[in-house]
Amino acid sequence: MKIESLQNKKVKEWSKLKEKKYRDETNTFIIEGEHLIEEAKKRGCIKETISMREEMDSDYIVTKEIMKKITSQVTLPNQIAICEKQKEHDPFGNILILDGIQDPGNLGTIIRSAVAFSYDTIILSEDSVDLYNEKVIRSTEGMIFHINIIRRNLQKELAKMKKLNYYIYGTNVVNGKKISDCQFHQKKAILIGNEGNGVKKELQNYFDETIYIPMNQQCESLNAAISASIIMYESESRK
């Protein structure tokens, strides 16, 4: 179907998806570009596709002005799609827990690494950045569709995981066991803290092992996505 008016009801709905509030109300979000759409198709979660080009076999063909209104990218994408939010499943497999990650690029990059290193579940604390923020989605490079991501109260979730005999690995810049000396249990959960403040104090009580990544003293800490990725890499590469 062709749409040419900026006042069209559909156009208004789509452009509101930039806001978290409206994504939550409709349980949908926008993805942009062919690679992401391809990955979403594998998952069967696309509701509608929108393009500026008739030949692209989209549900809606729109004008350049309409595409500009929907997307916030400077270079307009050939095709975008409205997706249903992912279903949330109870935690299983290798688990990564993120306590208060704020930077959308960091979260997206961590999701991409988590899939690369065969993690199955990511648990986000309630104060983390919104998973469906467009920058998060873009940085995942489509990997958001290949992993179970849930938002929970971490204290409750950690208590449950202890009962299920999960071994909790936490990070701490100051001390802990050198990561290359760590033996990773099969049932493992890795807990990564916020960019500035690390893991909240009340959650540190759940650590079975505190690990650290050795580094040059001139450097106080690594970027959160880098720490998370190195730990996930190490935990899987030395099995």
- Which residues contact a second copy by CB under 8 A? 105, 109, 112-113, 115-118, 139, 141, 143, 146, 180, 213-216, 218-223, 225-226, 229-230, 233, 237-238
Complex with a second copy: residue 155 or 180, whichever CB lies closer: 180
Looking at the Cβ atoms of 164 and 215, the one nearer to a second copy is 215
DSSP string, 38-74: HHHHHHT-EEEEEES-GGG--SEEE-HHHHHHH---S
Question: What is the CA 125 to chain-centroid distance, rounded?
Answer: 12
Beta-bridge partner residues of 188 = 167
Q: Whose Cβ is closer to a second copy: residue 3's or residue 222's?
A: 222
Cβ within 8 Å of residue 109, ≥6 positions away: 139, 140, 225, 229
* Dihedral sign for Cα atoms in the order 71, 229, 226, 185: positive
- The b/e string for 26-55 (b: 16+ C-beta within 10 A; e otherwise) is eebbbbbbeebbebbeeeebeeebbbbeee
Q: State the angle between helix axes of 104-116 and 224-237 in degrees (0 to 180), rounded to the nearest 10.
A: 10
Three-point CA angle 223, 206, 170, nearest 5°: 25
What's the DSSP call for residue 179?
Answer: G
Q: How far is the CB of 191 from a second copy (least distance, A)?
A: 19
Residue number, 84 or 141, with CB nearest to a second copy: 141
CB of 179 to a second copy, least distance (A): 8
Q: Which is nearer to a second copy, 46 or 226 (CB)?
A: 226
Work out how close the CB of 101 gets to a second copy at its nearest, in angstroms, rounded to a whole number: 15
Is the four-CA dihedral 190, 196, 202, 204 of positive or negative sign? positive
Q: How far is CA 178 from the centre of its chain?
A: 27
Residue closer to a second copy, measured from CB, 82 or 95: 95
Q: Closest CB to a second copy among 62 and 122?
A: 122
Minimum distance, C-beta of residue 215 to a second copy, in the bound complex (Å): 4
- Tell me how far, at minimum, the Cβ of 211 lies from a second copy, in Å: 13
Q: Residue 45 Cβ, how far from a second copy at the closest point, in Å?
A: 16
CB of 94 to a second copy, least distance (A): 11
**10 Å Cβ neighbour count for 168?**
23
